Amino acid sequence: MYLHSIGTAVPPRAYTQNEVFHALENTLKFHQLTSRSRALLRKVLGNRNGIETRHLALERVEDAFVFEPDSMMARFRQHAPALAETAARQSLQKSGLQISEIDAVLVATCTGYLCPGLTSYLSQKLGLASSITFLDLVGLGCGAALPALHQASSLVTSGSARNVLVVCVEICSAASFLDDDPGVLISACLFGDGAAATILSSESPSPTRKIRWVKSFSHLAPEHRDHLRFDHQGGLLRNLLAPEVPALAAQHARTVFDRTGLREKDISGWIWHAGGRDVLAALRSEFSLHENDTRHSTEILRRHGNMSSPSCLFALQSALENGVPDGSWWLASFGAGFSSYGALLDVSS
């Protein structure tokens, strides 16, 4: 099985962290927080934390701090299908495949809920056949790209599909929250909006660089569920983010990688979910990597923030376009649950 291509999409407007803070400090909500919370926001948004800009699906940055359930749901309903379509069309164009050759579509998201799901909207926008297999994956959090690709590989292996379109789309600005919980505050400083799409196929693309899907692995640690998850308050999603998350991300990433039977020296390309500056630092420490080994994830974080599920596909696209040598690549994501995923890719020119 092969990954044909990757398409990405972000909202047109990028906001600097300073822009976000200056808009926030003029809101009533900011002044309702404790002085300690205000100082934390000022520190994280005002200093270099690995993020310079975030693309947000907003007409004005001030809209990010209007915490009304109906408005935030409308934001997701408006922007999630549009970004998913843009990323999907870009992936299709790069692949050289026709719309009629797509016989399954999977869409992963965690930042909004639609029924019918995003597959209904995306199928209509793309003009996909009504007989295709479709599946919405909801609630997998930042790690969703890898289990979505695993499901796609199952469809291809079973002969149920030849070309499976996989889309990860998150409107994180539709799932933001502010209160005096430090983890909630940090979350508000990290996340951006975006979508990524790829096509998993039974046949190798030609003449582009070949990305063969070898095998995937996963690990679920429910005992750490409360360290990273959404809950609900006042009709809004509220992201819980514990200080232990970077260490847990590295710990569980190690568990998943060890199941491959490989060693670090066997990997020529490391592609990580850009969860945050401290997360990437913990991964480098755990795997004895240099900053250069995580540069593509670091760059995605710098330009886009943590986009949740699309982030690792953005990093994979960057690695493919910017000189990572052929060989065995390790693609990894992690998120709510605490869940951790990895996939071994064989990349050749």
Q: Rounded to whole angstroms, what are the CA distances from 278 to 88, 190, 231, 244?
A: 31, 12, 23, 10
What digits encode the pLDDT tens for the residues 170-217?
999 999 999 999 999 999 999 999 999 999 999 887 767 899 999 999
Among 264, 261, 280, 260, residue whose Cα is nearest residue 344: 260
CATH number of 210-348: 3.40.47.10
According to DSSP, the β-strands at 133-138 and 53-55 are unpaired
Which are the contacts of 191, defined by CB distance < 8 A and separation ≥ 6?
54, 170, 172, 173, 175, 176, 239, 305, 306, 307, 308
Residue that is written with structure tokens 């800009």 in the block: 53
Question: 121: phi > 0 → left, psi -120 to 50 → alpha, else beta; which?
Answer: alpha
216-257 pLDDT, tens digit each: 999 999 999 999 999 999 899 999 999 999 999 999 999 999
Q: How far apart are the two ends of the chain, measured CA to CA in Å?
A: 16
The DSSP bridge partners found for residue 7 are: 197
> In the predicted model, is pLDDT for residue 133 greater than 80?
yes
Residue 261, Cα to own-chain centre: how many angstroms? 26
Domain boundaries, the chain: 2-201, 210-348
Q: Which amino acid is at 113?
A: Y
> How much is the pLDDT for 142?
96
73-124: pLDDT as tens digits:
999 999 999 999 999 999 999 999 999 999 999 999 999 999 999 999 999 9
Same CATH fold, 210-348 and 2-201?
Answer: yes
273 neighbors 334 (Cβ within 8 angstroms): yes
pLDDT for position 27? 93
Write out pLDDT tens, residues 277-332: 999 999 999 999 999 999 999 999 999 999 999 999 999 999 999 889 999 999 99
Q: How confident is the model at residue 337 (pLDDT cuts 50, 70, 90)?
A: confident
Instruction: Give the C-alpha separation, 63 to 71, whole Å.
Output: 9
Could you tell me the two tokens for 165?
Answer: 């379109």
CATH 3.40.47.10, applies to 2-201: yes
